A and B are shown apart, each in its own frame.
Chain A
Amino acid sequence: MTIRRQYQLPNCSLILDGLSIDPSLGSENVMSLLVNAECRISGLERSLNGGYNFFAALVRAVSQYGQEVLSGFAHPQVVEGEPLLVHINPGDGPYHHLVIQPEIADLGDLGDGRAIDIKLSAVQLFDLTEAVDQFFDDSQTLPELTPALAPLARRFVRSEEPLSDRAIPAVLGIGGLVAATMAIGLMPVPKLREPATSRADEAAEVAIADPADSSTPPTGEVEDPAVSQIAAAPEAETDEVEPETAAAEAELNETAESEDTETPDTETPDTETSEAETSEIETPEAEALNAEASDAETVEGEAGASRFETNPPNALDGFENVRRLNSELKQTLVDNREQPRFGDAVSYRVRVSEDGTVVGYEPADSAAIAAIDETPLPQLVGTASEQAPAVDYRVVFTERGVVEVSPWRGWSFYE
């Protein structure tokens, strides 16, 4: 039985002529064999005619291109590996180009071997798409052809975001790395204590590191300890690891008393180090130099009331206590600040005694030193017995004006 199906729209109509080859009940009206497909587009002198291959390629290209119009991403208009027989490309302004290869469509006498390129306006293209969709919707006609609408996989899409937006995370990451590298570079080289033979080299290292620290001349009592804290901070950490260093330093503290000797002290080893390097036998002398060099730091550090060499003498224990003091400290800081502090984040190590008194604080870096007067910390320092149990907290004044408090040694330490 021959069947004709028409899908008509103002600017486009599809006319399908075919046969039903399945005589069984219910499917006698299903067009399962296509004899001829005709596509009429308004403004076009002659219609496009072709067989099944032409029609299948046309509906696929049209259906896929419809998605391209909606999303802006190019959809593959042909099954991978098959020749591109019908294709639609975006054109200038309101136009699109329907390109049909000559071997697939019956072009009659006009065929000159070249692909035909039909310029379609947006409305014409839509009418063609709608005719195709109506065909897909009609389950009685060539049911094996389906629209196969599916989102485009990620690999077909290149990012639409402008380069600047995409570059920001990368720039932030690299910037962070650079900042971290510089911060690490600012820290003095940690001293490594080894058996006597290597001490000469070590003295040399200290001598090089120290002039950099002393480049800021001591101006007053307030700044002085602060400057030395930078150098002293890592020392406090090494103390934890090597208890013997603390003992050694205690000894050294007695030998050197004056603060002003810093510069000469550090320069002397510089000249003498060369000697030490040339003759390894002179180990005792080198040791003395080393002692002097590290003295300058320690002594000056002692002058600051707000500096911790080690952990509290009597560390407060117990998760509950630590947590209670944590929230108390945070509340105290929030209550006592004049206004939230904005700008780069600064952090401090703050020691709090059992009864909640702030015993002292230690800025983490030079920015923290500079910003100390913007924080309520200086006015909060009270007196408490040195032997009273205390906990160290890390206090961060974030760039958005938030105060963050956490135990210096981490929550997990107390759990």
Chain B
Amino acid sequence: MDNRQRMQVQSPPDAQSPAPKLVDQLSNPDGLPIECSRRAKTQIDLLLLAIEALDLGGSEAMLASAKELELSEIIRGRVHLWLLRSSNPLRRFSQRQPMSLEEGKALVLITCFLARRLTVLIRQLLLGYQQLSDQNLSFDHHFRLSDYLARFRSHFRARMNAKRSSVIAYSTDEKLNELAIELLTKLLFCTGTEGAERLWISLFDGEVS
């Protein structure tokens, strides 16, 4: 620890510190593209959107966790995070900017870190959803669940470009609720021991030859 601190002080401009980075714990399978695909960018942004719908301070928590996980070198502040999330092609103000594998990994780690913190809530909501659908009841019977769904719908509608055909597919409340539940399930899988690796690998399904 001492050693690393001293090194950082000695060579501030050179980011070439040999200290192992957290992002390196995620694997680089063979045949990985050189940058994150459209689907990867979309998935990451949607999962983060679901986290924001779960946790009111979600967007602040993303920045805080980037610091906590020592990812500030990769996620350089609020604007950079916004730019990366805006690379989601479904966004209203989508930025046609690439997302490097390292940036993708950092966002995956942040997603899983935040999901793990929300484990209890995620499990409660999924359990509630299961009980309500068993009894054919509407989501309004579960306050936290309907709260999450409503917040997700409004986040989604405010930020996604309603003219894109892949967004039009979610034009109804029902479709958006389905998407919100699907993302909740994915977040649950992110909370596991291998959550980050699983999410990271899943982003490239169908992208390798």
Interface residues of A (CB under 8 A from B): 66-67, 69-73, 75, 93-95, 121-123, 126, 129-130, 133-134, 136-137, 147, 149-154, 156-157, 160-162, 164-165
Contacts and interface: CB of A to CB of B under 8 A. Distances in A.
Given A69-B189, A73-B206, A94-B126, 18 more contacts: A70-B189, A70-B199, A75-B205, A94-B129, A94-B133, A122-B126, A122-B130, A123-B123, A134-B193, A137-B193, A149-B27, A149-B198, A151-B31, A154-B207, A154-B209, A156-B206, A160-B39, A165-B165
A164 B204 CA distance: 23
Contact of B205 (A66, A73, A122): A73
Contacts of B165: 162, 164-165
A151 B192 contact: no
Contacts of A93: 130, 133
B205 A152 contact: yes
Contacts of B199: 70
Given A149-B197, A154-B209, A71 B202 contact: yes
Contact of A123 (B181, B188, B192, B194): B188
B78 interface: no
A67 B130 contact: no
Interface string B49-64: 0000000000000000
A118 to B, nearest CB: 15
B208 to A, nearest CB: 5
Contacts of B188: 122-123, 126
B175 interface: no
Interface of chain B: mostly helix, strand, loop or mixed: helix
Contacts of A150: 29, 201, 208
A72 B191 CA distance: 18
Nearest to A121: B130
B209 A153 contact: yes
B205 A71 contact: yes
A151 B205 contact: yes
Nearest to A94: B130
Q: Which 8 pairs across A and B sit closest by C-beta, in order of nearness?
A: A157-B206, A70-B202, A151-B204, A71-B202, A71-B205, A152-B205, A94-B130, A133-B194
Interface of B: 27, 29, 31-32, 39, 123, 126-127, 129-130, 133, 165-166, 169, 181, 185-186, 188-189, 191-194, 197-199, 201-209
A40 B207 CA distance: 36
Contacts of B204: 151
Contacts of B206: 71, 73, 151-154, 156-157
25 contacts: A66-B189, A71-B203, A71-B206, A75-B205, A94-B129, A121-B126, A121-B127, A122-B126, A122-B188, A123-B127, A126-B191, A149-B27, A150-B201, A151-B201, A151-B202, A151-B204, A151-B208, A152-B206, A152-B208, A154-B207, A157-B205, A160-B39, A162-B165, A162-B166, A165-B166
Nearest to A164: B165
Nearest to B129: A94
A137 B192 CA distance: 11
Contact of A151 (B29, B126, B194): B29
A94 B31 CA distance: 34
Contacts of A122: 126, 130, 185, 188
Given A123-B127, A153-B208, A165-B165, A129 B189 contact: yes
